[in-house]
Structure 1
Amino acid sequence: MPDGTLISAPLACCDTAPGLLPLAAARERLLRAAVPVVGEEALPPGMALGRVLAAAPRAALSLPPFDQSAMDGYALHAADLAPGAAPRVARRITAGEAAGPAIGAGEAVRVLTGAALPPGAAAVVMEEHVALRDGRVSARRLPRPGANIRRRGEDLAEGDILLAPGMRLDARHVALLAAAGVGTVAVRRQVRVALLSNGNELGTAIRDSNRPMLAALLARPEVTLTDLGVLPDDPEALAAALRGAAVGHDLILASGGISGSDADHLPGALRAAGGEAAVLKLALKPGKPLAHGRIGGALCLFLPGNPLAALVGMLTLGRPLLARLAGLATEMGPAPLAAVAAAGFSRKPGREEFLPARIIDQDGFGLPLLEPSGPFGSARLTPLAAADGLLWLPAATERVAPGDMLRFHPFAASFGLA
């Protein structure tokens, strides 16, 4: 590994500028206000992919459902697990056929992998270890009792709990549920999210990129989305839209309108609509401004208007909030990967930072070598599109030198972005 003295700058303590709220504290504040949605539905396992379990499913049958052969070979009676034994081949069983009558001393049954074993089978000798002479089996290598047999229920027994509530179902779980004969599973209902962008400039001088980006991030099985479009900088129109969205939604997600200028009305509109709003200043770059609150039964999360700031806010705060609402048992953030700086650069300390970066090579230990993917700017989309992920820098970091160890969040591995 690179010399340990090189890691001191980027892994220094996370002291933040006075008056700014650390990202971890902001995340805890948001999660404290959130509880999982109420309600569930029953779905077949194949239709429940990506959904969150509301109750623990139990196996409807044992796995394996019967004693079965783990190999192509010959099933032998216990009396024939002895040197010199030469039982005759009585019959053949393939996978899917009935096991038939019990096997007796002096009898061997030809079995294929997965075939049901007849009662009395003590072991299966692999066909590679067998010599056949005149319809009789001579084992060149005798198996131990129980060898090459998958016993009924050795994987799981009928009635066993398969999965814990709060898990997100993936392809592995669907396979287990199908194999265990589970017809339907109880999953939490989807989180209902209303999405809007705010700003008079959107759709005229500037195209709205945040709403399509956030909609793409919300395209998840546990979410159902209502697109409210672009709303102008009109306090009354914003208040009316928020009041309407509070009905039938669990979360109202917006970007823009929170930086504090005289054209930023979202927090005030939320209060005017009868809701509660708090405006935060985060020790985060990009994404210093943030607002959150509640109206009726809906939580509100208002992200900055610049695209990179909105993306970072959604990945670091919006995703954990959605996980809590969806009922996921754990909301741990994505674990960063170790990486190495390919080039040096300086920065202003005081706020932790997520910087778009690309992988240009690997070092001698196989770690990715990183460099910023373009000129920094929270409104710049080209460096973001060229990046392989987000490089995380602690608040106290002033200088990154070539060879420094870094913490890197690849878009696909850390955030599930295709």
Structure 2
Amino acid sequence: MSGLLAVEEAQARLLALRAPLAAENIAISESLGRYLSQDVIASRDQPAAPLSAMDGYAIRFADMPGPWTITGEIAAGAAPDRTVGAGEAIRIFTGAMLPDGADTVILQEDVAAAGTALTLTGDGPGTRGRHIRERAGDFAAGARLLAAGTHMGAGAIAAAIMGGAGEVRVGSRPRVAILTTGDELVAPGRALAPGQIPNSNGAMLAAMLAAVPADVALPLHMRDDRMSIANAIKELARHHDVIVTVGGASVGDHDHVRGALDDAGGRLDFWKIAMRPGKPLIAGTIGETLLLGLPGNPGSAFVTATLFLLPLIRHLAGAAHPLPPIRQAPLAAALAAGGARRDYLRARVDGAALHMFDSQDSGQTVPLIEADALLIREIGAPARAAGAIADYIAIA
């Protein structure tokens, strides 16, 4: 369709409007969900010395099949105070340092101890070096454990701590304001007059933003008044990195966001995307603040937030890969041919197959309850049979 931007071009232009925010140092214990702004380099070997991987006895493999004389014991956290000589064994526990002279750990289940005498009763270790975690077997000092742009999940936090980090340098959390618009919208739980509906978009977007590192202000609501919306945008731009408006993005007589952006002294970068739902999407700037105008139907707001708002926040927070990854699965049922816009169809992945919901009405919220995928149907795509492989974006 003439004048409509492709989704990828719109995403690229949106992310190019502003560089990631400044970095800050935080305690590693506070880093969950953040994005690194510099590499994490290991300052130590892990393990720092050979360790026992099991409870048993440290021995010389050359002394197999025994018997041995037990000469001591080593627990985790204690340094060995003796070496293992010919015919000797030292009781050792999981995580304890291997004493000098030993090159193998024999499992406690494979031996019998009577006083200081130790005899083989099972199969034994089989090969030299069994049940030992070698020094630097996980990583060595100087290794790059985590690259800049990495999302800090539980595993990344554990690795950084093991590498010696007590704090990490991460991108700042973008300050986000949510501004919903519409005369017909009423605060959740309030009584409704004829023609009114509950305002679900503000709370929905706040919930979606909880999955990314952002400081989100309580949703603000404005009636369909261009001057009021412009004044709100101008004020919010003073204190926030991103303003996300919901509703009023189209061309109707009561759609004022584009005009209000101009009135607030902002600059429009692009408007209207070759996608469905979500065609009337607005992106612009007010000084250093970014404005993203989402359409007002809940389904449209959800889809455009997934494709544009969340990637924008991840980008500003320092993510190396802010866009949602494309996955693939077979279609559970036939899919009709595509039209003039790319479709993002609410679906669920069940039994490793994509099941598209019967209704794709962007005004409905019930499909969002069970949807965990957006099935992608390209512009002009031919009809596809059940079992054909299709692209999708996970939205769980």
Residue of structure 2 equivalent to 1:304: 295
Structure 1 residue identity aligned to 2:285? R
Residue 246 of structure 1 is aligned with which of 237, 253, 257?
A: 237
Residue of structure 2 equivalent to 1:285: 276
Judging changes above 3 Å, is the alpha-carbon distance between structure 1 residues 320 and 111 closer, same or farther for their aligned structure 2 residues?
Answer: same
Residue 379 of structure 1 is aligned with which of 334, 357, 363?
A: 363
Residue of structure 1 equivalent to 2:326: 335
SS of alignment partner, residue 196 of structure 1: strand
Judging changes above 3 Å, is the alpha-carbon distance between structure 1 residues 142 and 22 closer, same or farther for their aligned structure 2 residues?
Answer: closer
Aligned mates of 1:125, 1:108 — CA distance in 2: 9
Please state how far the C-alpha of 1:109 moved relative to its aligned partner: 0.8
Residue 370 of structure 1 is aligned with which of 355, 358, 362?
A: 355
Residue of structure 2 equivalent to 1:90: 71
Judging changes above 3 Å, is the alpha-carbon distance between structure 1 residues 58 and 233 closer, same or farther for their aligned structure 2 residues?
Answer: same
SS of alignment partner, residue 331 of structure 2: strand
- Contact 1:242-1:270 at 8 Å conserved across structures: yes
Structure 2 gaps of 5+ residues are 187-192
Aligned mates of 1:306, 1:95 — CA distance in 2: 59
Residue of structure 2 equivalent to 1:4: none
Judging changes above 3 Å, is the alpha-carbon distance between structure 1 residues 130 and 388 closer, same or farther for their aligned structure 2 residues?
Answer: same
C-alpha RMSD over aligned residues: 2.6
Measured against aligned partners, the alpha-carbon deviations of 1:361-392 in whole angstroms (never above 9, x if no partner) come to 64xxxx425242x4332212233334343222
Residue 183 of structure 2 is aligned with which of 188, 200, 207?
A: 200
Are 1:355 and 2:338 matched, yes or no? no
Residue 182 of structure 1 is aligned with which of 165, 187, 194?
A: 165
Structure 2 residue identity aligned to 1:127? Q
Q: Which moved more, 1:288-297 or 1:100-109?
A: 100-109
Please state how far the C-alpha of 1:159 moved relative to its aligned partner: 4.7
TM-score by length of 2: 0.88
Structure 1 gaps of 5+ residues are 1-16
Aligned mates of 2:384, 2:100 — CA distance in 1: 70
Residue of structure 2 equivalent to 1:27: 11
Please state how far the C-alpha of 1:97 moved relative to its aligned partner: 3.3
Aligned mates of 1:123, 1:173 — CA distance in 2: 31
Residue of structure 2 equivalent to 1:9: none
Please state how far the C-alpha of 1:347 moved relative to its aligned partner: 6.1
Aligned mates of 2:238, 2:64 — CA distance in 1: 79
SS of alignment partner, residue 92 of structure 1: strand
Judging changes above 3 Å, is the alpha-carbon distance between structure 1 residues 133 and 118 closer, same or farther for their aligned structure 2 residues?
Answer: same
Structure 1 residue identity aligned to 2:185? L
Are 1:75 and 2:66 matched, yes or no? no
Q: How many residues align?
A: 386
- Contact 1:283-1:351 at 8 Å conserved across structures: yes
- Contact 1:339-1:370 at 8 Å conserved across structures: no
Residue of structure 2 equivalent to 1:115: 96
Residue of structure 1 equivalent to 2:87: 106
- Contact 1:37-1:250 at 8 Å conserved across structures: no
- Contact 2:249-2:280 at 8 Å conserved across structures: yes
Please state how far the C-alpha of 1:300 moved relative to its aligned partner: 0.9
Aligned mates of 2:293, 2:261 — CA distance in 1: 10
Aligned mates of 2:295, 2:174 — CA distance in 1: 22
Residue 394 of structure 1 is aligned with which of 368, 378, 383?
A: 378
Structure 2 residue identity aligned to 1:242? I
Please state how far the C-alpha of 1:325 moved relative to its aligned partner: 0.8
SS of alignment partner, residue 268 of structure 1: helix
Q: Which has the higher contact order (CA 8 A, sep 6+)?
A: 1
